[in-house]
Amino acid sequence: MFDNFKIFDKYITVSLLFAIGRSQIQGIIVDMSLNVSRKKTRQIMVGNVPVGNLAPISVQSMTNTPTADVSATVSQIERLQNAGCEIIRLAVPDSEAAQAISLIKPKISIPLIADIHFDFRLAIAAAQAGADALRINPGNIGGAAKVKAVVDCAKDTGISIRIGVNAGSLEKDILKKYNGVTARAMVDSALRNIELLKSLDFHQIKVSLKASDVARTVEAYRLLSARTDLPLHVGVTEAGSLYSGIVKSALGIGTLLAEGIGDTIRVSLTRDPVEEVRVGYEILKALGIRQRGPEIISCPTCGRCNIELFGIVEQVEEALLSTVSPIKIAIMGCVVNGPGEAREADIGIAGGDGTGILFRKGKVVKKFPQEKLVEVLMAEVEKYERNRSKLAD
């Protein structure tokens, strides 16, 4: 999955430190324990998921299968659901894709957003096929009359709309006014379209302002957040390949979340969308905003490590993908210092010289043959989850 987990982990940490530092400079209430003070926005519904008004920040993704291929799309959505995806968006480039929504919807259990560009009739077809929400880019949907037709349909079907402003497709007059794409131009486009929808007495709106440039994206969201109480969908678009995408998303989304801006997020990566969901939760976990699933602590390795730690960490990550308990797991390279270095972990394993050890809260529990490291750890995680659900009962 990840080519190099260590680098991934380091990028997230560095990026978020930057984000926190920036927030403190601006005097916003974010302290070193990462207590984020969220801006209160209006609440809308995307299917059964509330967005805004301090509802948990939901994690979204987007399928990359042809939407008209129902079985491939459903199977990808199932994998995304297992990874914790809470809202899924599908591209609707043609009427086959719009019709496929009626076949996909009954087979999935998270809300579905239809993503529409250019053709307002596809938005109407997608809504009528059962989409829980629409994402339209008003800059390319073809003018106020067509937006009104989409809004009328959203009212009839009782669904919400995301105004998805994209730096690459701003209205021509706005581009002329601002002499090109700027954060203010993006905000102008968003405000114009918010006013248009509100003038049609439509209020189930959330807004996104995406650019591939992190600084511009952050500036645009800051400006818009000061001008509206509508919930915001936050992301950096076309963020890129794994490493650059993670860095840009952690910086952009992390900076905004640390300032209390953002009600739902989508990490954008040129990868399997399951990775977007994983990174989304890592950002939320690192900021202390939401906990879902294990937090893995692994040592950087040094000359004492004589096991293949990178591969073991990847195996454990894969095996834990659908685990929801917020358990802290340490995976350390040696039995000499590992448990001591991971005192904060709920459970952990360390390897070296043919022996593996299992430890809890830094205390050694038992030794076993090193090749059973992952097996022993997974059995311990299952035990931990069973005990936890007994306590919850």
Contact residues toward ligand SF4 (CB under 6 A) are 299-302, 304-305, 332-334, 336-338, 341
CB closer to ligand SF4 out of 254 and 338: 338
Q: Provide the b/e sequence for 242-256 (b: ≥16 CB within 10 Å).
A: beebbbbbbbbbbbb
Burial of 177 (0-12, 13-18, 19+ CB in 10 A): middle
Q: Which residue is nearest to ligand SF4 (CB)?
A: 333
What tokens were used for 297? 């602590």
Crossing angle for the helix pair 242-258 and 273-286, to the nearest 10 degrees:
40
At 69 the three-state DSSP class reads: coil
CB closer to ligand SF4 out of 304 and 360: 304
Closest by CA to 290, choosing from 329, 263, 321, is 263
What tokens were used for 335? 């039995």
The least distance separating ligand SF4 from the CB of residue 7, rounded to whole angstroms, comes to: 16
Amino acid type, 188: D
Residue 364: partners with Cβ closer than 8 Å, 6 or more residues away: 339, 357, 358
The least distance separating ligand SF4 from the CB of residue 306, rounded to whole angstroms, comes to: 8
CB closer to ligand SF4 out of 68 and 345: 345
Residue 297 and residue 348: Cα distance in Å, rounded? 9
The least distance separating ligand SF4 from the CB of residue 295, rounded to whole angstroms, comes to: 17
The least distance separating ligand SF4 from the CB of residue 93, rounded to whole angstroms, comes to: 49
CB closer to ligand SF4 out of 55 and 305: 305
CB closer to ligand SF4 out of 215 and 336: 336
What tokens were used for 232? 């915001």
Residue 376 and residue 62: Cα distance in Å, rounded? 35
CB closer to ligand SF4 out of 57 and 299: 299
Closest by CA to 310, choosing from 302, 318, 319, 301, is 301
CB closer to ligand SF4 out of 136 and 309: 309
- Distance (Å) of CA 79 to CA 60, 62, 173, 207, 314: 13, 12, 42, 27, 18
The least distance separating ligand SF4 from the CB of residue 101, rounded to whole angstroms, comes to: 49
CB closer to ligand SF4 out of 291 and 337: 337
The least distance separating ligand SF4 from the CB of residue 303, rounded to whole angstroms, comes to: 7
Which single residue is written with the structure tokens 């380091």?
10
CB closer to ligand SF4 out of 72 and 297: 297
The least distance separating ligand SF4 from the CB of residue 298, rounded to whole angstroms, comes to: 8
CB closer to ligand SF4 out of 32 and 302: 302
The least distance separating ligand SF4 from the CB of residue 345, rounded to whole angstroms, comes to: 12
The least distance separating ligand SF4 from the CB of residue 242, rounded to whole angstroms, comes to: 24
The least distance separating ligand SF4 from the CB of residue 237, rounded to whole angstroms, comes to: 38
Residue 248 and residue 251: Cα distance in Å, rounded? 5
Task: Count the neighbouring beta carbons within 10 Å of the beta carbon of residue 195.
Answer: 10
Angle at 168 between CA 247 and CA 58, to 5 degrees: 50
Helical residues (DSSP H) of 200-241, grouped into ranges: 214-227
